Structure 1
Amino acid sequence: MYFPSKKDWWMTIIIWLCAGFFMIPPVFLPDFGVWMTPDFLDKQWIKIMVLFPIGLVLIWIWSKTGYRIEGNSLIIRSGPFKKEILMDEIYRIRETKNPFTAPALSMHKIEIYYGKYDFVSISPENKTAFISELKERNANIQTDTSIQSIR
């Protein structure tokens, strides 16, 4: 079962502005001499080869961040990055608004604790269905009271 990431409007704006900054200037904008750059960066092809792929990866992350529950594993995808967690290793889920990086496009996240000391923050669009699916496959998962209220 696939669960896309919830996308906050401000995160969407930031990602698209950064992607545009990396992709458009090296291709279309002339050099106005405003910034001091090393001579080797004045070569247009170097700007395209370095900056354009960064912009493409940002768009890839924005469009392909999601979470799939297949068999006995949770597969987390964020653009080119992939992480797989076995259901049996998950022991706790809690709600968080942690602003630090995670394979999530929203501040409204859930933290999944697995293994001995590992955790990952994700932001499924439909938290209720996501948590229900996880608990259906692993009844031993503990949830905090804030999460139990959305179930």
Structure 2
Amino acid sequence: MYFPSKKDGWMGFLHLVILFLCLGLPILSGEWVGIFVVPLVLGVVNLLIWFRTGYRVKGEALVVHYGPITFKVPIHKIERVDFIKSPFVGAALSVDRMGITHSASKFLTVSPKDQHGFLQALKESNPHMVVNRP
């Protein structure tokens, strides 16, 4: 089951600013041919992060897609889930996040649009995880 990331409006504005800085400024400056490669790559990565951040509960694994990066977490290794508010970097496009502690205190943050459905999907594979609600 796939759960897209919740997206905050201010985060969308930030991504637009980054996209403009990466693609718009080099083109508008007229010097874009020589300095186009790095901003183009950064712009494409920015677009991938915005449109391809989401979470898939697939069998016994949580598959996290964060732009061009994909990683898996075995659901049976998830120890706890905390509901948090955090603007810091993570595989999330909202400050309304879930902090997942897994595999000997490794931590990741996610921001599924449907937090309740996401949590239910995780609990089906690991009913023993601890859930700390606000």
TM range (shorter): over 0.9
* TM-score after normalising by structure 2: 0.95
In 2, distance between residues paired with 1:107 and 1:30? 34
**Cα pair 1:92 1:141 within 8 Å, conserved:** yes
What is the CA–CA distance in structure 1 between the aligned matches of 2:29 and 2:77, rounded to whole Å? 53
Q: For residue 20 of structure 1, what is the amino acid of its counterpart?
A: F
Equivalent AA in structure 1 for residue 9 of structure 2: W
**Candidates 83, 91, 113, aligned match of 1:95:** 83
Structure 2 gap segments, 5+ residues each? none
Counterparts of 2:103 and 2:131 in 1: how far apart (Å)? 16
Question: TM-score scaled to structure 1, two decimals?
Answer: 0.85
* Count, aligned residues: 134
User: Superposition RMSD on alpha carbons, in Å?
Assistant: 1.2
Report the equivalent of 1:34: none
Q: Is 1:57 the equivalent of 2:57?
A: no
Structure 1 pair 145–11 and aligned structure 2 pair: CA distance change class (3 A): closer
1:82-121, aligned counterparts within 5 Å?
A: 82-121=70-109
Q: Structure 1: state its 5+ residue gaps.
A: 32-42, 147-151
Partner of residue 74, structure 1: 62
Aligned-partner Cα distance in 1 for 2:93–2:62? 18
Distance 1:46 1:71 in 2: 47
Letter in 1 for 2:55: Y
| Identical-pair percentage | 31
Alignment deviations for residues 50-97 of structure 1 (CA, whole Å, 9 cap, x no partner): 111101110110011000010110000011011100011101000111
| Partner of residue 39, structure 1 | none
CA contact (8 A) 1:16 1:59 kept: no
Large movers: runs of 4+ above 3 Å: none
Q: 2:83·2:133 contact (CA, 8 Å) conserved in 1?
A: no
Q: Is the 8 A contact 2:79 2:129 kept in 1?
A: yes
2:13 corresponds to which residue?
13
| 8 Å CA contact retained: 2:5, 2:110 | yes
CA pair 75-45 structure 1, distance change in 2 beyond 3 A: same
The structure that is strand-richer by fraction is: 2
Q: Which has the higher helix share?
A: 1
* SS class of match (1:46): coil
Q: Which has the larger radius of gyration?
A: 1
